[in-house]
């Protein structure tokens, strides 16, 4: 059962986090193009930005399964209190927070500003801030993956 849980955990992580990382990384390019086009002028970049945001938002919901299967796997392996896992859990929570509180709302503000539906006093974040937030999200997941592979203190010789 442990092998099945671990396999599902890794598979869901790849299938959920990978598309978010790619789509969120591509979004700032189209945010710059939207800003250059001006408010209310929907072009091809607007359509691409909408799709990228939907990918990020949809896969974020799917991504909730990653920690669910991760906790189940860790419990079966008896490693819930290992330092490398606790650090991974904290970094995963921080990455989820960056996605939920910076990346997705920033994308939404860019899209609202582009179609003219944003409140006049709500400014979208600059594309560079979105790129930075996405970079932080991706870096956090990179560290989590490294911790999952290296597992400091592991006796498996990995």
Place of tokens 């990455």: 95
DSSP-H helix ranges across 38-116: 44-62, 65-77, 83-98, 104-115
Q: For residue 127, give the 3-state DSSP assignment.
A: helix
- Give the global pTM: 0.88
| The predicted structure's pLDDT at residue 156 | 59
pLDDT given for residue 100 in this prediction: 97
Position 137 scores a pLDDT of 97
Q: Could you tell me which residues come within 8 angstroms of residue 62 by beta carbon, excluding any fewer than 6 positions away? A: 12, 15, 16
- Work out the average pLDDT over 50-75: 95
What's the mean pLDDT in 106-124?
Answer: 79
**Residue 148 pLDDT greater than 80, yes or no:** yes
Instruction: Output the six-digit token pair for 88.
Output: 């991974």
Instruction: Output the pLDDT for position 102.
Output: 96
Q: Where are the domains of the chain?
A: 2-150
Tell me how far apart the alpha carbons of residues 71 and 89 are, in angstroms, rounded to a whole number: 9
The two most distant CA atoms of the chain are separated, in Å, by 59
Mean pLDDT of the chain: 89
Indicate the pLDDT class of residue 56, thresholds 50, 70 and 90.
very high
- The fraction of the chain above a pLDDT of 70, given in percent, is 88
């Amino acid at each position: 059962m442990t092998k099945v849980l671990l396999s599902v955990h890794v598979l869901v992580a790849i299938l959920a986090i990978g598309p978010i990382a790619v789509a969120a990384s591509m979004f700032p390019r189209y945010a710059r193009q939207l800003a250059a086009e001006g408010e209310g002028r929907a072009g091809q970049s607007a359509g691409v930005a909408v799709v990228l945001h939907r990918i990020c938002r949809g896969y974020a919901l799917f991504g909730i399964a990653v920690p669910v299967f991760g906790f189940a796997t860790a419990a079966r392996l008896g490693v819930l209190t290992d330092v490398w896992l606790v650090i991974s859990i904290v970094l995963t929570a921080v990455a989820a927070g960056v996605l939920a509180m910076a990346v997705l709302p920033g994308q939404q503000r860019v899209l609202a500003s582009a179609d003219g539906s944003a409140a006049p006093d709500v400014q979208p974040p600059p594309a560079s801030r979105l790129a930075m937030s996405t970079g932080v999200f991706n870096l956090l997941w990179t560290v989590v993956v490294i911790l999952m592979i290296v597992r400091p203190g592991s006796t498996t010789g990995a």
